[in-house]
Amino acid sequence: MRDFRESLRDRFGSLPDSVEQLINTVRLRWMGEKLGFEKMSLKNEKLRAYFVTGNNEYFKSEVFGRVLSFVQTHPKRCRMKDMASKLILTIESIGSVEAATEILGPLAYYNNIKSVSETSSA
């Protein structure tokens, strides 16, 4: 992603804020996929991440273990809830897409863990 951003700057000059926001949104989606989220929303300074359904192997994976560990070490800011057979992670005090990528980045790229698709095909 960094290379892509630099190539855009080389070609077009300084990037408008809207383009930077779009790039950060795409990065956040990639992180979410790597962490096993099928959907994410950021609203009212709350990030809600909906875990994939129908992949029980995922819940035994290292990826899910990292997410659980994160929730356990941040109990005032994070919670997990099962609503209508959907597991949802909520993280409070997330004011922007950039803040969300800062929080999820270390989880998504910890020791280059396998993505959810790699976990389910192994």
- Looking at the whole model, is its pTM more than 0.85? no
Structural domains in the chain, sorted by start: 2-121 (3.90.1150.50)
- Residue 79, H or E segment: strand 78-83
Taking 50 as the threshold, does the pLDDT of residue 115 lie above it? no
Name the residue among 57, 37, 43 with its Cα closest to residue 104: 37
Which amino acid, one-letter code, is at 33? E
> So what's the pLDDT on residue 118?
47
Which amino acid, one-letter code, is at 62? E
Name the residue among 75, 78, 82, 76 with its Cα closest to residue 104: 78
Share of the chain above pLDDT 90, in %: 56
Q: How confident is the model at residue 97 (pLDDT cuts 50, 70, 90)?
A: very high
Residue range 41-92, pLDDT digits in tens: 999 999 999 999 888 899 999 999 999 999 999 999 999 999 888 999 999 9
